[in-house]
């Protein structure tokens, strides 16, 4: 699937403490990074903020990113839940929900990719490490420095995965 020139893709690596985001723009050649960073689900020093406040910070942060960079598509890493930790999956679902809500309210199409698919598309190996993902993003997006923290690299990888292999699986 080809993307229109100038399309901005917002990649998201969802988390309650730290959500990575990366905005890439499709041009005539390689995609380029417009902006990348993190949204914190708790204010500095307040890692135990209540759930409502954490979700509010996440929602407000992603709305600011969307309003400033006006993406035409959003690619979100799917949640991975280990059967021994179902509570984690439920809590992460809250974070993912506010991200999808922000996109839905602004009519931004959202595509979800599992982590293995993103890693395989980007590095050629579905079990790539965080460090491999960071170095691949450095090279593929011609960045001056390694994307830090790893959540940023994962978000950029989600956006780049969508650029290379869009598939609707929300």
Beta strand segments in 97-167, E: 110-113
Which residue in 35, 50, 67, 151 is the catalytic one? 151
CB-based contact 127:119 (threshold 8 Å): yes
Which residue in 13, 84, 148, 167 is the catalytic one? 13
**Tokens, residue 3:** 């993307």
Instruction: Compute how many other C-beta atoms are within 10 angstroms of the C-beta atom of residue 36.
Output: 22
Residue with tokens 């593929």: 140
Spatial neighbors of 14 by CB under 8 A, at least 6 apart, are 76, 77, 79, 92, 95, 96, 99
- What is the three-class DSSP state of 105? helix
151 noted as active-site residue: yes
Which residue in 77, 131, 148, 167 is the catalytic one? 77
CB-based contact 130:18 (threshold 8 Å): no
Closest C-alpha to 110, from 59, 74, 164, 160: 74
- What is the three-class DSSP state of 90? helix
Active centre residues (catalytic): 13, 77, 151
């Amino acid at each position: 699937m080809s993307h229109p020139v100038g399309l901005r893709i917002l990649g998201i690596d969802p988390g309650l403490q730290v959500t990575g985001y990366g905005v890439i723009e499709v041009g005539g050649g390689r995609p380029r990074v417009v902006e990348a960073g993190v949204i914190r689900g708790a204010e500095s020093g307040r890692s135990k903020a209540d759930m409502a406040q954490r979700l509010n910070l996440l929602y407000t942060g992603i709305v600011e990113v969307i309003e400033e960079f006006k993406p035409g598509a959003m690619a979100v890493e799917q949640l991975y839940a280990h059967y021994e930790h179902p509570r984690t999956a439920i809590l992460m679902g809250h974070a993912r929900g506010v991200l999808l809500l922000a996109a839905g309210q602004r009519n931004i199409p959202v595509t979800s990719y599992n982590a293995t698919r993103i890693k395989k598309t980007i590095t050629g190996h579905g079990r790539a490490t965080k460090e491999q993902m960071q170095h691949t993003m450095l090279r593929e997006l011609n960045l001056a420095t390694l994307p830090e923290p790893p959540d940023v690299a994962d978000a950029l990888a989600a956006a780049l995965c969508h650029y290379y292999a869009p598939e609707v699986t929300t």
